[in-house]
Structure 1
């Protein structure tokens, strides 16, 4: 299983259930990497999308504690274990955890690759994920050259589980 995320220098991912910043090349990378694949997310992440609708051209697995929660175009599960079981129906290389914070933390032990857009600045944030540079089970396997979007410097990084 994979994880895909954009983080700032403090490994923050969001504020008030929104992304910290929108970088067109990051959005393009996300779209190209996950289209035709399986995405796992929490309910709040789904509800942050335009119209609260599942992502097109993907299998959407939504984790929620709400028992009566239903979404057209998504598979709704009620635990990490159920999400892992549902995801096991697919090739693990085609499964991407896409947020939010608690889902990233809960699903991290099941992931072997993390695609991280690392933004070289700090934002006001209320949602963070574990810093993979400090996780003993993870190693930085690849990093792009520096990219810029206006005054924002960022890198595309790939981390692998040791």
Structure 2
């Protein structure tokens, strides 16, 4: 599995259920990297999508502890084990914080958009720069959009990800 995330310099990812700084170029990249692949997300992340509807062109796998939660056009799983059994290897974890933390050990690649500033936040992604099992596999030159500088960095796991048996 893979993950995709946008973080600030403190590895923050959101505040009050919203992205820190929506960047149109990053949203386009997100679509390019996830279209045609299953996406794994939580119920709260789904609620931030337009109309609270699943992303089109992708199989939406939702992990939710809310009993009886259902959504048309998506598959809902009550526990991590059942979700992992149903998730193909090309799945992409797309958030939020608790989903990233639960599934990062099963990922071999993380596509990170680093926003080159900090924001007030209440949700974070694990700091891959400080994680011994992760290393930078590639970086792209910094970009800027509407006075916001950012950079795409790809991380690769240096130890094998956890098995999904």
- Structure 1 residue aligned with 2:26: 26
Shift of 1:79: 1.4
Secondary structure, in 3 states, of the residue corresponding to 1:154?
Answer: strand
Which residue of structure 2 aligns with residue 55 of structure 1? 55
Matched residues in 2 for 1:81 and 1:115: separation? Answer: 24
What is the CA–CA distance in structure 2 between the aligned matches of 1:13 and 1:138, rounded to whole Å?
19
> 5+ unaligned residues in a row in structure 2: which ranges?
159-165
Secondary structure in 1 matching 2:135: strand
The Cα offsets for residues 101-138 of structure 1, whole Å up to 9 and x where unpaired, read as: 01001100000000000000000100001000000000
Q: Of 119, 126, 134, which aligns to 2:122?
A: 126
Q: Number of residue pairs matched?
A: 158
SS at match of 1:98: strand
Q: Which of 92, 95, 98 is the matching residue for 1:96? A: 92
Partners in 2 of 1:79 and 1:121 — Cα distance? 35
Do structure 1's residue 137 and structure 2's residue 129 form an aligned pair? Answer: no
Give the TM-score of the pair, scaled to structure 1: 0.96
- Once the two structures are superposed, residues 1-24 of structure 1 have per-residue CA deviations (whole angstroms, 9 ceiling, x without a partner) of 000000000000000000001111
The C-alpha deviation readout for 1:59-85, integer Å capped at 9, x for no partner, is 000000112111000000011212211
4+ long deviations beyond 6 Å: none
Q: Pick one of 100, 105, 109 that aligns with 1:109.
A: 105
With structure 2 as the length reference, what TM-score do the two structures score?
Answer: 0.94
Where structure 1 has 5 or more consecutive residues not aligned to the other structure, the ranges are: none
